[in-house]
Amino acid sequence: PKEAVIVIDMHAEATSEKKALGHMLRGQVHAVLGTHTHLQTNDACILDGFTGYLTDLGMCGPVDSCLGMDSDIILKKFQTGLPQRFSLATGPCALNGALLELDRAGCQSISAWQWTANERI
């Protein structure tokens, strides 16, 4: 429908794949937002004056961690090469994401920002 807002979540490791999809879909969808790496990128933009884009939204989770997991367990896995049962790290958390502004008709994205709240919340 004409009123629908179309947002694509591109879950991938390679930034080049995310960027390529953004360019492939520019002008056809309202936003292409990447996920997977847990590290927020600093490249929010509007492609061709229509499609909001961000390579990676980032993570919502513990700051002092390895991608949200207890770093001691991750280190043990790396040092021994043996499988480990991961557990969520504790402590202050960060909240990452993006904000898109659409024009009044909802036809196109007119601004895009990445945001983060990691003031040790």
Q: What is the pLDDT of residue 119?
A: 60
Q: Which two tokens stand for residue 10?
A: 């591109």
Helical (H) or strand (E) element with 112: strand 109-117
Please give the Cα distance from 30 to 10 (Å, whole number). 13
Please state the CATH superfamily assignment of the domain spanning residues 7-117 in this structure: Metallo-dependent phosphatases (3.60.21.10)
Q: Whole-prediction pTM value?
A: 0.82
Worst-scoring range by mean pLDDT, 36-40, 49-53, 65-69, 113-117? 113-117
Residue ranges covered by each domain of the chain: 7-117
pLDDT digits (tens, 9 = 90+) for 34-49: 999 988 999 999 999 8
Contact (CB, 8 A) for 108 and 7? no
Start-end of H helices in 11-116: 15-25, 71-80
**% of the chain exceeding 90 in pLDDT:** 60
Please give the Cα distance from 72 to 100 (Å, whole number). 37
